[in-house]
Each structure stands twice: as structure tokens, then as C-alpha cells.
Amino acid sequence: MRNFISKNAEAIPPSGIRKFFDLALTMADVISLGVGEPDFTTPWNVCEAGIYSIEQGTTSYTSNRGLQELRDSLSEYLKNHYALRYDANREMIITSGVSEALDIAIRAVIDPGDEALVTEPIYVSYAPCVTLAGGIPVPVPCHEKDHFRLTPDALMEKVSKRSKVLILNFPNNPTGAVMKRDDLKAIADIVIDHDLLVISDEVYAELTYEGSHVAPATIDGLWERTITLNGFSKAYAMTGWRIGYLCAPEPICDAALKIHQYVMLCAPVMGQIAANSAIRNGEDEKDKMVTEYRVRRNLFVHDLNRIGLPCHVPEGAFYAFPSVTSTGLSDFEFAEQLLKEERVAVVPGTVFGDAAKGHLRCAYAVSRKDLKEAVTRIERFMSGLRT
């Protein structure tokens, strides 16, 4: 029999630490800082809107672009919150989560052989999506000394004639790094000079703690060459509803829409109705969650530094990214031993690219009580290392 697996599918790496975490599933009393989703449940008024829509029999397809009401609300919301201007009818698609939005964005613009510059450390799906589209992901390292922001020097080092796309994800998973307006301006010049397109995943935009989020498409000269991706999962604790969106200039949006209509048709209607309710009535609940994340971040990062795991203050998202190099263990060894000995699950940085080596991703989207207990256990684990 032939090998039926495509070259593309073979080329993408499997999740290397899956086996390691399957162990966590079998253990009792594990505190998991490994989960990249809010510990809150979706605000009840949002759930209620979804439930009501099902009761009313609203269980059909929607238009490919998504519900008109939701797109109208989003267009208004993006303008008011981020000064982003996208037309609800021509420049926006509602997707099944940002994951789908990312996939169709990449497939709409990448041809075989095109290089996509991907900042590192970064969430695991970007590079494989580029590979699946026939492109070549080129990592651009972001360093701890720069608080994991993308610098013009790092970008200049990797940009080439084959570069077509720059993928950004700020606030960043896994580092919590944020790009300020000046940081983005410095990058914009290079993007324009090299005629690149930016794909900006801003799913953590609402979780920006110091100042407010700056969308790359609001930088002079970038709107026409940017695809903005966002969604409801993180800010409104709606991970399971799978609602995201893609915004882009019309020709790019039309290309992505063709892919979306063939592979997804539309995002689930009840999710879209719930998302519209989140935008219209969920602001207070969202603000409360954001305040709570900030309080947890302050406590957790303070404690990590106190017990000897140096950690910069992440300005966004809900991840702390401490360094473990001073312990003499690799991030993988540290995470594995910590899980086995003290039952605390964290994600080794290496998973997020070479630039993340020696770090751990710790999601502080868990209760303050659990965070405190996790710190006690990590501290005990570390004092065991010293003896």
C-alpha cells in the first residue's frame, strides 16, 4: 500500500509534549497553569442569549460573512475601542474562532515558496498553518532584554526578497509582551519598504493592562497591508463558542471569504448571537475579568521573582513567562520534574520556538487560591533542587 499521508501533513510537527501532559490527566490534585483559556465561565447574560436563540429555533446557517447584526456591532466596536475602521459589509468575515481566521488569512495570501516571518516565541499554530499553505515560516526571535517585543533589528536580520508576510501576535501568547505605538511605527517602515503584508492576531487585545492596545492597522501606511484577526474567546471567556473574525481590505477579504465558504460555510449561528450579546451587554463583566487578571498577574509575578524565578511583568494576555536557567535545568526538565514531584503543570517554553528556550509559560487564568498554592509548590520544588 502507498503512503497516503501528504507531504504537507508530514511536514508539520506533532505536539511534542502531548505525552508528557497526558500524564497530568491521570494524576489527581494537579494545579494546571498550562491552560490557555479563561477559568471564568461565559457571562450568564451572554449564555442566555445563545440558549434563547436555540429555543427560538434559530439553528440555521447564516450568510458566509456572518450575521449582519454582529458585523454591524463589531464595526462600531472596533472604531470606538481601537480606532480601527472596517466596513461591516465588505471588509469583515465572522469565523469559527481566530484559529480559522488565521488559516484562511494565510491561505488567501501565501503561495508555495513564499516566506512568512513569524515572531518567536509564539503560539504553536502559526508556523504549521504557513507550512500547510505551502509557505516557509521564518522565525524572527524576540528577546527577553526587549521584553519580548519585536525590534527593527531582529526583523531586518530575517527579511529577504522572498518574504511576503509578517505575522504578529501582540499581546503575545506565551510571553505577554505588548507592542506600543512607537514599537509598531519602527516596524512599519520596514514592512512598507519590503512590501510586506501584516497578519495581526489580536485576540488578547482586551487584556492590555498598561495603557491601551494599539492595532497595527492604525499605524500610518499599514491599514491597506494588514489583516486584523480577533475573537471573543479570551476577553469574554467564550473559548468553546468558537467565534472569531477577520478584517481586511476588500480584495484580501474577498479572497479569504472564498476559502471560508468552501471549508467552513459559516460560524455557528448560536455562537454569533451570543457574541453579539457579549459586545452589546458584556462590557462590565469583561472589565471585571480584566481587573481580576491584572490583580493575579501582580501577585503571581511578584511571587515568581521572590522565589528566584526571574520574570518580567507581562503587560498583556494572561501568561507569565519566567526564566528557569538559574536552576540549571532545561525548561522541559523543570516542567517535567515539577509535574511529577509537585503536581503543578506548566508548559516548557521550547514548545513556542527556540527563542523561548529556558522559560516556562504559566497561565495565571486560575483562581488566586490555586496560584498561591502553585507558588508554594514551585518554591518547595526549587528548594529541593538546591539540597
Partner 1 sequence: MDEKDLLILQLLEENSSVSVDELSVMVEIPARDVECRIGDLEGAQVIRKYSAVIDWERAGKGEVWAIIELKVNPERDFGYDRIAERISKFKQVRSLRLITGTYDFQLLVTGKNMQEVARFVSEHIAPMDRIRETATHIIMKNYKENGNTLCGHEGTERIPYSF
CB of 287 to partner 1, least distance (A): 11
Give 32 or 163: the residue with its C-beta nearer to partner 1.
32
Please report whether residue 32 would count as binding partner 1 according to CB under 8 A.
Answer: yes
CB of 321 to partner 1, least distance (A): 14
Vertex 286: Cα angle to 280 and 289 (nearest 5): 170
With CB under 8 A as the contact rule, the residue among 90, 143, 302, 380 that binds partner 1 is 302
Give 59 or 291: the residue with its C-beta nearer to partner 1.
291
**CA–CA distance from 62 to each of 3, 161, 261 (Å)?**
39, 41, 11
Distance CA 111, CA 129 (A): 12
With CB under 8 A as the contact rule, the residue among 15, 68, 326, 367 that binds partner 1 is 15
Nearest to 256 by CA among 131, 88, 90, 93: 93
**Phi and psi dihedrals of 161, rounded to 5?**
-65, -25
Please report whether residue 24 would count as binding partner 1 according to CB under 8 A.
Answer: yes
Please report whether residue 367 would count as binding partner 1 according to CB under 8 A.
Answer: no
Task: Copy the grid coordinates of residue 105.
Answer: 488569512
CB of 32 to partner 1, least distance (A): 4
DSSP 331-375: HHHHHHHHHHHH-EE-EEGGGG-GGGTTBEEEE--S-HHHHHHHH
Nearest to 346 by CA among 323, 315, 369, 314: 323
CA 304 and chain centroid, separation: 23
Distance CA 201, CA 248 (A): 12
Please report whether residue 172 would count as binding partner 1 according to CB under 8 A.
Answer: no
Please report whether residue 299 would count as binding partner 1 according to CB under 8 A.
Answer: yes
Please report whether residue 192 would count as binding partner 1 according to CB under 8 A.
Answer: no
With CB under 8 A as the contact rule, the residue among 63, 291, 326, 367 that binds partner 1 is 291
Maximum distance among all Cα pairs of the chain, rounded to whole angstroms: 64
Please report whether residue 63 would count as binding partner 1 according to CB under 8 A.
Answer: no
- Give me the 326-365 binding string for partner 1, x by CB under 8 A, dash otherwise: -------------------x-x---xx-------------
Which residues make up the interface to partner 1 (CB under 8 A)? Answer: 15, 21, 24-25, 30, 32, 34-37, 39, 41, 123-125, 291, 295, 298-299, 302, 345, 347, 351-352
